[in-house]
Structure 1
Amino acid sequence: MTDGQQPSAWDGALAGLGARDAVAILCRGLADAVQAAPRPPSRACVRLGNASIEVEWPALAEPAPGAYAPPAQEPAQDTADPATDAAGHTVRAELVGTFYRRPEPGAKPFVEVGDLVEPGQQVAIVEAMKLMNPVTADVGGRVSHVLVDDAQGVEYDQPLIVIDQEADE
């Protein structure tokens, strides 16, 4: 402990738990903080002495040239990609990470083109910092396009899946 650090009640409580349990509690706290955030942090730290959890998020910056950037107030039909020209509701990535169509390797995909989905149904996963974040349909209808390949990196607000709401019979 350095001169600037004073023992706290947390130190005593954590010492009473044992190192393994104390670290588990701190890591759960860190995981909860990261999962509740709208985007992944740039740095995360867990300390045992003086019980500390530190999380840093990068400042929002302009996307790098060639990186995905959401269209600026332009309708989707003005894009050159016919898959995104499709009529329907677009399910978008809520965070930066890796897109997975399946719950695990070798398993059947959550949804295929032509499947009917209901609001709240899980349609994919985005992994960020070893956390599996479910991607859910916010409308019901028929999946008309899957715009991202399995295990492909995705950016925040990137279109992932198009759902045709008119085909929800």
Structure 2
Amino acid sequence: MPSDDATRSLSDEVVELARSLPGGLRRLTVRSGDSAIEVEWATEDQPAGEGSGALHRAPVGRDTGPEADGPAVPDDVVAVPAPLVGTFYIAPSPDADPFVRVGDAVEAGQTLGIVEAMKLMNPIVADEPGVVTEVLVGDAESVEYGQVLMYLRPTGAGQ
């Protein structure tokens, strides 16, 4: 088991690394037992410390990324963007079922996928309940910051 000094040193190094990265840091968790580090960034629309920032309203009739020549995105869906550059995983392990599929109902706080960056697994969670309408990124594909991973249609929202 790591000593308190080693844990403190690791924590200090992680905080220093996080401060050197671009964007507002929303949450940083460092655990000692079995070592786990979680980093969550605020979205560019949302200052650090306000909500998880996992969801953005999709712009109506606007380009939404590399597939912009496709149909316009309806105004009743929410885009789920990648919070950082990394590798997107739709399932917790290669032999596991995906976190979500098209048509699945999701609850606020439910994990939709993972973006791995620098050996850190960053969960992508739903900010509000909804139904997955489209998954745009395949398993183990590289993603860019802000790239839309999937769309959700919020449930219970007066849209």
RMSD after superposition: 2.8
Provide the residue aligned with 1:51 in structure 2.
Answer: none
> Is 1:85 aligned to residue 73 of structure 2?
yes
Give deviations 1:37-60, integer Å, cap 9, x for gaps: 665xxxxxxxxxxxxxxxxxxxxx
Any stretches of 5+ residues in structure 2 without a counterpart?
24-57, 63-67
| Cα distance change on mapping 1:105 and 1:32 into 2, 3 Å | farther
When you count strand as a share of all residues, which structure comes out higher?
A: 2
| Cα distance change on mapping 1:76 and 1:30 into 2, 3 Å | farther
Question: What residue identity is the alignment partner of 1:127?
Answer: E
When you count helix as a share of all residues, which structure comes out higher?
A: 1
Give deviations 1:1-28, integer Å, cap 9, x for gaps: xxxxxxxxxxxxxxxxxxx745554234
Any stretches of 5+ residues in structure 1 without a counterpart?
1-19, 40-73
**Mapped contact 1:143–1:162 kept (Cα < 8 A):** yes
TM-score by length of 1: 0.57
TM-score by length of 2: 0.60
> Is 1:145 aligned to residue 138 of structure 2?
no
Computing the radius of gyration over CA atoms, which structure comes out larger, 1 or 2? Answer: 1
> Is 1:30 aligned to residue 13 of structure 2?
yes
**Mapped contact 1:142–1:167 kept (Cα < 8 A):** no
Q: What is the aligned residue count?
A: 114
- Choose from 97, 107, 110 the match for 2:96: 107
Q: Percentage identity across aligned positions? A: 42
- Choose from 111, 115, 128 the match for 1:122: 111
Distance 2:92 2:86 in 1: 15
